[in-house]
Amino acid sequence: MSEMTDFIEELTGIHPKQLAAAPLPDEAFAAFLGWLPHDETVRFYCYGDSDAHFLDRTLPHLSDFRAQLGLSVIRAALCDYAAEIKKHFSLKHSIALKKVAAYYRGAAVEQDHNSLSDALLLKEIYERSQGETVESCPFPEYQKGVELPKIKKRVKASMGNRKLEFSTFGKAADWVMSEQMNMRDIVTDKTKSKVCSRIICAAEKNKLYCGFKWSIENN
């Protein structure tokens, strides 16, 4: 299993002491199976691929049959609502949970990546999008068939005499997660987006991130 890093602690708000006191996956998923109603069909909603990624990585480590069954029930009935929202608004790309929530609320939304907070945001989006008729896409930058001007950027990182350059934020984030955070096996779209945001913030505020000074230049 992956080690709890400072980055993951800051991203999720979960502290090592909380993790140490939490029930093991065998206990948690076995208890979940007992909690589930057995006389009705259930569906489980997530937003993005990180939950499916977690379930797939966790199943091989379970030894309790009830836990294996509980997790398998979730995996078989898992629905990625990000894909549904993409269809709902006829988007070219998936869109962040907080951006959709901000659209429905009419105000900016702060997302703290707490699992309960994310679940409540998703519940709100699900309820407000059901039965809604979309006459025009409120996210033109994500709309199918719309090509916005592309501004090419160079992302630079420096530490002493060591200087690096990346052609995109995504490639810079990939390098940070792989080489600086040793996260080769647990990368998700949500985590990568978070790292990109940290790089941009560090460049804008002239602050160090992962020990490097960052800058962004137009080609």
For the chain, 219 residues long, give each residue's pLDDT as a single digit of tens: 456 677 677 767 778 888 888 899 999 999 999 999 888 889 999 998 888 988 999 999 999 999 999 999 999 999 999 999 999 998 888 888 989 999 999 988 877 767 888 899 999 999 999 989 988 888 887 776 655 455 567 899 998 888 999 888 888 888 888 887 766 555 666 777 778 888 888 888 888 888 899 998 876
Task: Find out whether 125 and 109 touch, Cβ atoms under 8 Å.
Answer: no
Instruction: Give me the number of domains the chain comprises.
Output: 2
Classify 86 as helix, strand or coil: helix
What is d(CA 53, CA 39) in angstroms, rounded to the nearest whole number? Answer: 28
Range of the domain at 179: 153-218
Residue 165 within any structural domain of the chain = yes
Upper half-sphere CA count for residue 87 (Cβ side, 13 Å): 5
**Listed residue (79, 82, 62, 80) closest to 71, CA to CA:** 62
Q: Identify whether residues 131 and 158 lie together within a single domain.
A: no
- Write down how long the chain is: 219
pLDDT number for residue 160: 86
Residue 107 lies in a domain: yes
- Same-domain status, 56 and 86: yes
Gap between the Cα atoms of 138 and 92, Å rounded: 13
pLDDT value, residue 130: 93
Which pTM value belongs to this model? 0.64
Look at residue 65 in the predicted model and tell me its pLDDT: 96
Is there a contact between 51 and 186 (Cβ–Cβ < 8 Å)? no
Examine residue 125 and state whether it is found in any structural domain, yes or no.
Answer: yes
Same domain flag for 15 and 116? yes
20: its two tokens: 């140490």
Whether 125 and 158 share a structural domain: no
Q: Are 103 and 198 found together in one domain?
A: no
Task: Examine the domain organization and report whether 127 and 42 are in the same domain.
Answer: yes
Place of tokens 């091989």: 60
Q: Of 73, 107, 141, which closes a domain?
A: 141
In a domain, 190, yes or no: yes
